[in-house]
Structure formats: C-alpha cells, structure tokens
C-alpha cells in the first residue's frame, strides 16, 4: 500500500520549498477551502536553484480542498507558471508557459499503511494518494512535484539544430577526399590526374 504514496524524485526536505503551502487537516471545514496562491520571489528563486532554471517569472495555483469520505481530502485545481530555461542546443534563453491540472487525495498515513477495508481499498486504488503527515496536508510538495514534472527536461529553441554535428560531418567528408584511400580509389577508377 505504501508504494501508492507518491515519492518525489527530488530530495525535498520538510520546510524547504513552498513550506508555507500546507494546511492542517483540523482547519479544513466541511465546506472546504478555495485557495488562490502566488509564489513569492524568494520561493521562485529556490525553485530555480533546485531545478536549474534561468528564471521563474510567475508561479500561481488555484485549488479547492474539500473533506471527503473516510477521513480523506480531495484537492482539485490548476497550476500556471512562466519559466525561462536555456536551449540545450544554442544555450539561448527560451520561455515556456506551463498549465497543469492539480488533483490528489490526501489520506492519513495509517489508512495508506494498514490493511484497509474493501471500500477504503477501492478509494485508494482509483486516486493518486498523498500522505497526511502530522495532521498536515503538504500542498507545496504536490505543487513542486507537478511543476518539476511539467517543465521540459530538454528545452529546444524552435528551429535549433545540432550545427556542430553538421560541421563535423563536413570536416570528415573533406578528410575522406584527401585521404590515401581516396587517392587509391581514384587511381583504380582511372580518375587520378597528374
């Protein structure tokens, strides 16, 4: 059951990135929460360092967080961001707009780790589960994971080509014409002129 809990491929330490983006389960009323949040300049700078981005101009999320059955909480929303990355070919900065859906179910760790009832198991099987740790729903962690998985790992400027490979191929072709084997081939064909 614990393998259903999402694990970040980045080492996020408690309170490190987007630390204030959590909610205490006890503070979430039956009508839920409707949240609009923007990352501060400091938070965006931390994200840039962690993900080797040139710049993160904006990062905002809009989401609802509502209590659900069996002590779980449902999060539904959207993440929007504008980032600058270096092109992997030209190293020129290029901008990208990100827009990703946020959707997760938060469940207490004991529900995820114990042997749940048949009904609880059905709920856990159909959703992405985030653990509630110390009665805290770590929305910042979900936002960071969604953000990091939505950026292009190999950003490429439109029309950019590997010119280095093309020039290497031309150099190789020139070397082939002046090689001893090329001269022998010309002699064999009778094309060598003195």
Q: Each residue of 137-193: pLDDT tens digit?
A: 999 999 999 999 999 999 999 888 876 555 555 666 565 666 777 777 777 776 555
DSSP annotation of 54 reads: S
pLDDT digits (tens, 9 = 90+) for 27-80: 999 999 999 999 999 999 999 999 999 999 999 999 999 998 778 999 999 999
DSSP string, 113-165: HS---HHHHHHHHTS-EEEEBTTEEEHHHHHHHHHHHHS-SS---TT---HHH
Question: Where is pLDDT greater, at 87 or 112?
Answer: 87
* Helix axes of 139-150 and 41-51: crossing angle, nearest 10 degrees: 50
Residue 6 confidence (pLDDT) above 50: no
pLDDT of residue 191: 58
Express as a percent the part of the chain with pLDDT over 70. Answer: 71
Give domain limits for the chain: 2-150, 162-194
């Amino acid at each position: 059951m614990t393998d259903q809990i999402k694990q970040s491929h980045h080492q996020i330490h408690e309170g490190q990135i987007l630390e204030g983006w959590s909610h205490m389960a006890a503070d979430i009323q039956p009508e839920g929460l409707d949240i609009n949040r923007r990352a501060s300049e400091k938070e965006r700078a931390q994200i840039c360092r962690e993900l080797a981005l040139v710049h993160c101009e904006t990062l905002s999320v809009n989401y609802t967080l509502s209590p659900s059955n069996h002590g779980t909480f449902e999060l539904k929303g959207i993440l929007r961001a504008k980032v600058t990355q270096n092109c992997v070919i030209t190293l020129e900065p290029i901008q990208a707009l990100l827009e990703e859906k946020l959707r997760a179910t938060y469940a207490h760790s004991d529900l995820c780790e114990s042997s749940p009832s048949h009904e609880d198991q059905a709920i856990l099987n159909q959703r992405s589960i985030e653990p509630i740790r110390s009665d805290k729903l770590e929305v910042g962690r979900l936002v960071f994971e969604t953000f990091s998985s939505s950026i292009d790992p190999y950003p490429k400027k439109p029309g950019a080509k590997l010119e280095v490979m093309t020039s290497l191929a031309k150099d190789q072709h020139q070397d082939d014409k002046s090689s001893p084997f090329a001269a022998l081939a010309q002699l064999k064909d009778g094309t060598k002129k003195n």
